[in-house]
Amino acid sequence: VQLLEVNKLCNTRNIVTINQNYPGPVVYAQEDDRVIVKLTNESPYNATIHWHGVRQILSCWSDGPSYITQCPVQPGQSFTYNFTLAGQKGTLFWHAHFSWLRATVYGALIVYPKTAVPYPFIHPYEEHIVILGEYWQQDLIQLEKTVMASGTAAPIADAYTINGHPGPKYNCSANDVYKIDVLPGKTYMLRLVGALLNMESFFSIANHKLTIVEADGEYTKPFTTNQVMLGPGQTLNVLVTADQKIGRYSMAMGPYMSAQHVAFQNITSIAYFQYLGATQNSVVLPASLLPRFNDNLAVKTVMDGLKSLEIGNVPKEIDTNLFFTIGMNVNKCGSRTPKQNCQGVNGGVMAASMNNNSFIRPDTPILQAYYDHSNGHFTEDFPGTPLKFYDFVNGAPNSPPNNTGSTYGTRAKVLEYGSQVQLILQDTGTVTTENHPIHLHGYSFYVVGYGSGNYDPQTASFNLVDPPYMNTIGVPVGGWAAIRFVADNPGVWIMHCHLELHFDWGLSVVFIVKDGQGPMETLPHPPPDMPR
């Protein structure tokens, strides 16, 4: 972990990076490989790395979220991450999981199939990694502290970036542009990674169709679309054929904002998809490149098209039914300096919650406390259903901060080993409905259903045959999603909204999956170099 001086958007500043690369180095591996990464912290800040989408079978200690599975690696210290990519292949990624460092500390984790195993689609002429990010002109550790102390939302990003480049629409960025050189007639695979911090984003290429063949590191039935939406934590592999006339086509990323009355950066980040033989000044910029910022239908259309390539091994005999509301809160001001600390809606303090509990990260890692049987660091009383049912989407309390508050606590939900879990995630309308990208550590899950409005088991339609198998699900704005998984990986696993601000505000819960029988179903002891 090292600082790097970068010159962007007319300014020079130091950012936190891995090996002074921005974006960070690509980790290449093959299915079933063991991956060992030694992290040495040469920055002035605490740091951890989360291996996003890695199942971490029996290696919970290497998962990476600070204060959940480990203490952060302090300046001058080292820690070795050690895990196996058991049965996994595809596009995953890694990112910091301390404060807001992941705004610059991220990179791709590319897992190839075993030797001589082909892709289940046309082998592309070339592959390119395309990471969508957000860039701030300020110290992100300080920014997080300032935002959390203010009780209100974060300032908008100074730029969107494609592989770290803002592109020509931003100040001083005419040459700070990512480019892919292509040959006419060839097919390319783009490995798209959503590494944004507080925003979701649309992506498209002018005049070219995208065919999705993989989502969150799992093959899908090919699905062709004009654009895709990636929230933080989501990855997609798309095939693009260079079948247009020779030219320079823009690859664009721009905002998807489903919430009401929230400020966002609206300048598009542009990269070039450039044919051999195109001249320097032949830029093609069709107006209809990206959907409107609040085009929920464009998001639903892509979600509707996602189906697993193979018949899924979907849990059918559900023995653990869970129902979690997700959404925003405004808590009453308790500060003696309200002008400084209570800048949320109507002089309240912004929060976010699951089942109306805003999660507090403790100062002792939950995994350590659980393993040591050490009391007082967390409780095991997270409710499996909301404390009260009402019209979550349309009838939510909305005169903040009256009746819009949440409880605070480090509450965990305990799952027996081997439980077949169905979890309904229900968006609520307090403050605003919103598409929330919910990520579960240590597992992928089948997205068996989703819809708008309040979940109704009588009318909900489920796909139990070939649902997509994902690690991050964008719960539809003003709607619900149903996921299923088998709790077969012992340890402490956080599930949280991947919009960093919402995570900080408390939109998360910890699952504790108990040990099963024998060593292959038991959490191993911690590695010797766990950070202090």
The per-residue pLDDT for 288 is 62
List, for residues 379-394, the tens digit of each pLDDT value: 999 999 999 999 999 9
- Say if residues 352 and 502 touch (Cβ distance below 8 Å): yes
Q: What are the angstrom distances between the C-alpha of 203 and each of 159, 193, 231? A: 15, 11, 11
Query: Which positions ≥6 away from 70 have C-beta within 8 Å?
Result: 48, 61, 63, 64, 79, 365, 367, 368, 530, 531
Q: Provide the residue count of the chain.
A: 532
User: What number of CA atoms fall less than 13 Å from residue 93's CA on the CB side?
Assistant: 31
Cα distance between residue 433 and residue 278, in whole Å: 45
Q: Interior CA angle at 312 toward 311 and 314, to 5°?
A: 140
Furthest-apart CA pair in the chain: how many Å? 67
- In the numeric block, the tokens 């766990």 are attached to 530
- Say if residues 195 and 133 touch (Cβ distance below 8 Å): yes
- Say if residues 238 and 491 touch (Cβ distance below 8 Å): no
List, for residues 341-368, the tens digit of each pLDDT value: 999 999 999 999 999 999 999 999 999 9
The per-residue pLDDT for 286 is 60
The per-residue pLDDT for 282 is 75
Name the helix (H) or strand (E) containing 203: strand 200-205
- Say if residues 475 and 428 touch (Cβ distance below 8 Å): no
Query: Which positions ≥6 away from 285 have C-beta within 8 Å?
Result: 206, 250, 270
Cα distance between residue 76 and residue 78, in whole Å: 7
Name the helix (H) or strand (E) containing 251: strand 248-256
Q: Which residue ranges in the chain fall short of pLDDT 70?
A: 283-288
Strand pairing partners for 275?
182
How far is Cα of residue 59 from the mean position of the Cα atoms in its chain? 21
